[in-house]
Amino acid sequence: MRISWRVYAAITVWASPEVFAKKKLFCYVVLDPIKRAVIEGKNTESRIFPASLAKLMTLFITFDALSKKKIKFNTWFSVSHHASQCLPSKLWVKPGQKLTVEQCIQAVCVSSCNDVATMIAENLAGNVPNFVKMMNYYARTLGMRNTVFKNPSGWHDPDQVTSSKDIALLMRAIWLRFSRYGHFLGGKTFCYKGRVYQNTNRLLGKVEGLRMGKTGYTSHAGYNLSTFTMRHHRPVIVVLTGAPTRTARDNKVRALIEKFYHRKGSGKISKNPILYRGGPKQKVYVKKNSHIS
């Protein structure tokens, strides 16, 4: 019996996590986004496969285009044949079909659709290679020293790598520059053509103050998760990659978030607010004599 190359590729990349368990590197980082300081971590700068965490850069570029008024939420993006051929997870859009920018963002944030991420790339940059150049340009400007992007969806490529710290820096940049769009990364559901898609991030609504998150998984990468949490005006970013199971990933991320907020002295808040230009509209409080870089 013959197996098509798409089925073979899907079996290869989405195989059971045990297949590549010994090759994955477990990494995590707890980042204070105000001080841009690593509070705790393991293998924070080791190169790993991002899986769908790569979509955070796709979203960053989309938010940037929105903020510069190059596009609007009601701008229509067209589906190409190439985008429609992407493997799951996907929205199963067809060539010639159109989605609004807002629908595209929701599909990527909530359902992590590879076909829609590719749609965004092609409509913003003309083609995927040009968009990848943009992804790597922004990675350099954000100080993501261990990151190389090869596609907008995070589909496995042996040369597409990042680190848990780099993803944390990207999450920080989204918060600082595009907080008005952050609610998309905290959406629990997305409705399209009568179907309700559930967010793959199971910690939303279960961890106090968790406002943004993005999951990722391939058999090569393991289970990944990037989160942004805000409690009592104090933010924290936790990124974890290479977990052997979804449950192990979620439990560890939850534990790291709780540990940060229960750390001795972490609850002391200054009375002096600092507002970021172009960043969050809410007031962000920092300890006395702390600095922002």
Rounded mean pLDDT of the chain? 87
Interval 105-119 mean pLDDT: 97
Report if residue 277 sits inside a domain.
yes
Residue 284 has pLDDT above 60, yes or no: no
Pairwise CA distance, residues 85 & 2, whole Å: 20
Q: Pick the catalytic residue from 89, 111, 112, 219.
A: 112
Interval 99-128 mean pLDDT: 98
Q: Which domain holds residue 45?
A: 16-285
Instruction: List beta partners, residue 190.
Output: 197
pLDDT of residue 11: 42
Query: Could you tell me if 100 and 108 are in contact, meaning their C-beta atoms sit under 8 angstroms apart?
Result: no
55 given a catalytic annotation: yes
pLDDT band at 178 (very low <50, low <70, confident <90, very high): very high
pLDDT digits over 220-236, tens only?
999 999 999 999 999 99
User: Considering the entire predicted model, what is its pTM?
Assistant: 0.84
Report if residue 8 sits inside a domain.
no
Map residue 214 onto helix, strand or coil: strand
Q: What is the CATH number of the domain that holds 176?
A: 3.40.710.10
Report if residue 39 sits inside a domain.
yes
112 given a catalytic annotation: yes
Report if residue 9 sits inside a domain.
no
Pairwise CA distance, residues 248 & 246, whole Å: 6
Report if residue 173 sits inside a domain.
yes
Q: Which of 37, 34, 36, 38 is nearest to 273 (CA)?
A: 34
Pairwise CA distance, residues 216 & 191, whole Å: 21
pLDDT of residue 23: 56
- Residue 98 in marked binding region: no
98 given a catalytic annotation: no
pLDDT band at 263 (very low <50, low <70, confident <90, very high): confident
Report if residue 4 sits inside a domain.
no
How many domains are there within the chain?
1
Report if residue 254 sits inside a domain.
yes
pLDDT of residue 198: 94
